[in-house]
Structure 1
Amino acid sequence: MIYPFPDIRMARTTSRTGCTSMTPSHRLLGILSLVLGMCFPHAAHAIADGTYQIVAKHSDKCVDVSGASGSNGAIVHQWRCHSGDNQKWQVLAKDGGYRIQAVHSSKCLDVSGVSTADGAMMQQWRCGSGANQRFHIERQSDGSYRIRPMHSGKVVEVGASSAADGANVKQWRWWGGDSQRFAFRKTNTPTAAKAVWNESFDGLSAGSRWFDEPYTEIRNGCGVNGSKCVRMTYVRSSVGSPRIVAEKSLPPAREYTLNYDVMFENGFEFIKGGKLPGLGPNRPTAGCAPIVDDGWSARVMWRRDGEPVIYSYHQNRAKRCGDDFHSSVQFQTGRYQAISLHVKVNDPWSANGLIDLYIDGRKVASHQNVQLREVGGSQTEITKFLLATFFGGSDWSWAPPRTVYARFDNFAVYPGLRVRGAPGR
């Protein structure tokens, strides 16, 4: 430890600021710590490098990247603790402090706008060299830690000492409250989750049909990075367009994320809507079929003007032909966008499942507290990838005015939550 003056030594007491007190001959520095919020930490590195959940003392909730977003500027707030990677942080000693990096996105905890003001929001941002992305982590007398941005000397806190899910995390001058104190709970060092199934099309022959479906074609040079893709053809028909449907078996699991990239080619008209791939059990329910206790499906649709929605057949659906859960965004034509569909199957006889839809790493639609199945067993878990894409609908009003095309690339199914922040990632 290097002190401001060579004859200074730390006493083994802690002031109400949480800073280590000075010997009586240097009380002036203790007063400065009270006035300026400055500290003289016990040690250069208070915790070991590793992967942690960061838990607010006052609420016992976790520091969380909102919506598991992969985007720069995504808000950091508190949320009830769960196993998602958007609540796991890699903490690494760096440049006299620590870098705190979100596991799910590889982006860094960051004080917005390099602000030094009270109330400046915490966010994630691509990692750089700025002091607003480096922090002192200082152990307090009660065993908790405070987190101090190096550029401002203030501390990280949960706003207004709120215990609510979604309360924003920000910086504020140190006042010693429990909303400014955190535990670092060690978690397993993450390893890259392996996909249980993936298809990039690079190993398939150009000109071949995917799943032997006649309106599909593997093509060169049409993928996200100039690789191969599958191009779907949508032809006008009396039911919207001919159905492109197939299934791929997956290992049974309670929770998966389906990722894929889609480009609606220029000139694509969305009309009233159409289907996109999703997930289901052994006996997926679709096509306006009645409710059965072991059947369900979770897919994506585009609606009028290209609005992406969650399209779900569940045990309590209001509509015979499936329920929509809407977003406030639109698919764009002429460029790839990343879709992530996160599905968690409920416990039997309970409405505690979920379906979340992300576009380019941003959560855009959600179906919470859903009962997908009535009975248990691996056959009612997620066991199938559902290829389903077509206009419709069931009559000419759903049909495109002419033949249109969409490209798909980089299908992958991962255990748990694994959100794709951008096409090809």
Structure 2
Amino acid sequence: MDTTAFIRMLQDTMACTDKSAVKRIIRFQHVSDYRYFLQHMPTVHSSLSPQQNIRNIPIIRGIACRLPAEETLERFAGRVWIEKDCKISVHASTQKSATAVEKGIPWGVNQIKAPLAWGTTTGHKVKVGVIDTGVDFSHPDLRQSLSRGINLLNRSMLPHDDNGHGTHIAGTIAAANQLQGMIGVAPRALISPVKAFDHNGSAFVSDIILGIEWCIRNRMNVINMSFGMKTKSKALLGAVINAHNAGVIIVASSGNDGKRRTVDYPARYPQTIAVGATNKLRRVAPFSNRGSYIDVYAPGDKILSAWLRGKYNEMSGTSMATSHVCGAIALLLAHKPGLTPTEIKAIIKRSVQPLRGSKARRTIGELDVMRMMQAVDKT
């Protein structure tokens, strides 16, 4: 490819103040083209205004930038792949603030039998990357469970939560304040909040990919992805495959549309563990997507967990189910380090509790921590 011509075209196109410009992800097919582009990136940047920045995404050999139209790049087809940098949303539906705290152990943590494993494992030092809206660093139930993480929306700031969703997820995974507050599935796991989502609970795919890259580079054991979208993204799939190959387990929520034959991306990718939601009766929650793409179900209906300003909130969604599964994996990894993503997925799937009132094949059921522990001890 004439990379010089590509750079010139990119500069010219981005310099146009066209209101129709949208965010796009461009991936280079050949390493040599990508490297050449990176060498000349400072020159490109110097010719653009601050609003027109180009972001480098090494994990997929790509960049993210605003461009007016795809047609301008057509002559480079075959050397670069272009896709729209789509918006992606967190997976939570109803919520209500909780005044009376369900002291100690929330129902979902009990239902998956996590407390029965705490004599053996508490998830000690297992690193969980939570790609979400950030976290409330001052929450008394989370203070012992957090590392610094990263704010991808403003790298000079801590990943403070301005939405609440990320704090709720973190609480279910690793809250550790049983005397005054609540306790999560893996109270001694270490959460790294990766803020990719804004106060509305939405993010661009490029931010998610940068979050996955940060998790790989910082050696996270597990990534919690409580979000999804309907369309597939080859760039996101590339990042997920990279994480999987690096030994990082990705747990993703299936979506809250009550669909029977489909789940959202990235849960639909085979390299992730796709999670559906159940209620207190061990039935699939009405809002949860379900069907053959689901790997495991977990409590996701009326889940009480940590919230902003040290408070608590009850939320429902496959997001909440996903955080239970992440916590369970942290318990398993602290007990038996070195298990691969493929091994963990197989252990979870063969250790499930049958669902109530479900015609689903018996291989898909609800998360059961004690069965997981027994299955791994037999191997």
Scaled to the shorter chain, the TM-score interval is: under 0.3
Q: Which structure features the higher share of helix residues? A: 2
Please tell me whether Structure 1 or Structure 2 has the larger radius of gyration of its CA atoms: 1
Instruction: Report which of the two has the higher share of strand.
Output: 1
- TM-score of the pair, normalised by structure 1: 0.25
